[in-house]
Structure 1
């Protein structure tokens, strides 16, 4: 697992106006730390290191060491707010973690074996990916950077579900913890004509809705 470290300072000047002024300095991004039965702590995070970290997919599903005025806290990202049309981060929420308690996180799903997929390569099918991340529950020390699902053997007309994803030991799918009827489809391969028909039907429904 990659190690991410960020520096931050406690924010004394609070409110929307203060946050706006802070962002204009180009040095910090306003944020807050909460959880672990402690009072929320408003912080301002070092902007250059944060902007570098957010470009890494693993950042969003990793334990982050946040150095706040010389004191380290173990946190994960709970929310990251961006400007509606400018490439700017406007606020970040961190959740404190307890290494002995399970946490729930959305972990990226990497689909592997696409180029070798039987249904696409040999049967002229179309691959459809219905999920890009999976919500899991595990101890922080078992949190993976990402999960993998190999589709190389997937044939036309077949589907892989949540239950087909191998999870790290001690981890569980949040959806599957609610029962087998929550075993959602993750990826499938269909024949091109079926895929085209579905797209045409969706387009027709959109046109009807617009006409109404």
Structure 2
């Protein structure tokens, strides 16, 4: 994905306010061997890009005054109640160095799992993203979590995930829970209902 930005010379809150009033968003690019530089981006383009999941977990081509470099979105601030992006931080990417970032989880096959099919259970998503470490070329847009085999009373953990080649989960020693299956209170499973009818 491509992002166009311009070098920003003026600093300070007054300069940032003037930028925002003119439809621009202030930002910063840091990391790598070059010094950090302040930039400005088109607010509307950035606002719509932030709505796309891929924008948060993909290597972006950031073009600053015609020169392109690869970056990751690291942080952004949004106004408390206005639809306004106040600031965006980008980190330069080195193709030869492993990076540490968050990747979204996409849950599939819940409806065919024994938990849902046989017991009418509810599957709760405990986490919607995980920390990973990988080279930039291996960074996945998202990681698929297959719920096809989950049953009532069971949980899926980070250790159960099938990660793409070259990608490792960063768990700091804990096998974090990703999803759990439980029957809602007062809900009778299909098996229990059938057993009741036979009595």
Structure 2 counterparts to residues 53-202 of structure 1, below 5 A? 53-175=49-171, 178-179=172-173, 182-193=174-185
Cα displacement string for residues 1-24 of structure 1 (whole angstroms, at most 9, x for unaligned residues): xxx101111001110110011001
Asked if residue 13 in structure 1 is aligned to residue 5 in structure 2, the reply is: no
Look up the match of 2:34: 38
Q: Count the aligned residue pairs.
A: 187
Instruction: State the distance in 2 between where 1:127 and 1:39 align.
Output: 47
The secondary structure found in structure 2 opposite 1:39 is coil
Cα displacement string for residues 152-190 of structure 1 (whole angstroms, at most 9, x for unaligned residues): 221101111001111111111110xx33xx001111111
The secondary structure found in structure 1 opposite 2:14 is helix
Q: Following TM superposition, by how much is the alpha carbon of 1:194 offset from its aligned partner in structure 2, in angstroms? A: 9.1
RMSD across aligned positions (CA): 1.4
Q: Which residues of structure 1 form unaligned runs of 5+?
A: 196-212
Q: Which residues of structure 2 form unaligned runs of 5+?
A: 188-199
Q: Following TM superposition, by how much is the alpha carbon of 1:115 offset from its aligned partner in structure 2, in angstroms? A: 1.9
Are the aligned partners of 1:6 and 1:46 in contact in 2 as well (CA < 8 Å)?
A: no
- Which ranges of 4 or more aligned residues in structure 1 deviate by more than 6 Å? none
The secondary structure found in structure 2 opposite 1:115 is helix
Are the aligned partners of 1:8 and 1:66 in contact in 2 as well (CA < 8 Å)?
A: yes
- Normalised TM-score (structure 2): 0.90
Instruction: State the distance in 1 between where 2:122 and 2:60 align.
Output: 39
Say which structure is richer in helix. Answer: 1
- Normalised TM-score (structure 1): 0.85
Cα displacement string for residues 104-131 of structure 1 (whole angstroms, at most 9, x for unaligned residues): 1100001111222220221122211100
